[in-house]
Structure 1
Amino acid sequence: MKETFVTIARFTYSSEAQIIKGRLEAEGIKVFLKDSITIDTDPLVSNAIGGVKLNVLAEDESKAKAVLNSISAYALDDNGNAAACSNCGSNNINLYSTINSFKSLVHFIIGFVFGSLPLSARYEYKCDNCNTIVNFKKQ
């Protein structure tokens, strides 16, 4: 019988894929990472080739997707608990890059024109439900 692999997820960097691979292998699922060595050699080609592909056997596809869905993709606070929005109380908080100052706009334009990585980037946590910007303060 021929074993057929199917792609169930794509990742920009192989480090993200390796973490998920370990979780799936702990569940007894055979995993194959496609293009991970290429991206480790030159990370800038990741978007061009579609990232690291996480492949599992076709017979394990539904089990693997269930494991993937059980992993939270949202932000955690310093204690490892799911971060909550101060406005709506939702745990659906993600990290986004933003251009909210003249300096970051200039760096974005320079990076875009010269095809280079940005010199300066700003990030903020934002609630996916109500679009409130969430600030984490050390207590």
Structure 2
Amino acid sequence: MQNIFVTVAKFQYSAEAEIIKGRLESDGIQVFLKDNITIDTDPLVSQAIGGIKLNVLAEDEAKARDILQSISAYTLDDNGNAITCSNCGSSNVSLYSTINSFKSFIHFLLGILSGTLPFSARYEYKCDNCKTTLSVKN
């Protein structure tokens, strides 16, 4: 029988992909990462080649997707509490990196010009249902 792999997730950086790979392998799912060495060599090409592809055997696809859904089903704050949207009450909240200030824009430009990753990154939580940006304070 021929082993056919299917892509179940894509990641911008290999660290994220390796963590999820370890989680799936601990449940007995065979995982293959594609393009991780290319992106580790030059992280700036991640968007151009579509990120790191996490592939599993076709027969394990449903189980892998269930595990991925359970991982990303919620977002927690620094204290381990679930974050909910203040506008619609949804717990479907995700963390995004953003350029929301002049300082982060300058750091982004310096990173592009010097061929390195940005020195400073800003993150914000955003509700995936109503697109409200959330303020989460420690």
TM-score bracket relative to the smaller structure: 0.7 to 0.9
User: Identity percentage over the alignment?
Assistant: 67
Pairing of 1:38-57 with structure 2 (within 5 A): 38-57=38-57
Q: Which structure has the bigger radius of gyration?
A: 1
Query: Aligned letter for 1:66?
Result: D
CA RMSD of aligned residues (A): 2.9
TM-score (norm 2): 0.77
Query: Aligned letter for 1:137?
Result: K
Gaps of 5+ in 2: none
**C-alpha distance in 2 between matches for 1:82 and 1:38:** 35
Structure 2 match to 1:81: 81
Aligned residues: 137
Pairing of 1:13-52 with structure 2 (within 5 A): 13-52=13-52
Structure 2 match to 1:58: 58
Gaps of 5+ in 1: none
Residues 126 and 132 of structure 1 are in contact (CA less than 8 Å); yes or no, is this contact kept in structure 2?
A: yes
Runs of 4+ in 1 over 6 A off after TM superposition: 113-120
Post-superposition CA distance 1:57-101 (Å, at most 9, x none):
122112212211221254311122221122332212223345555
Cα 1:2/1:81, change in 2 over 3 Å:
same
Query: Aligned letter for 2:64?
Result: A
Post-superposition CA distance 1:25-55 (Å, at most 9, x none):
1111111111111111111111122211111
**C-alpha distance in 2 between matches for 1:82 and 1:65:** 22
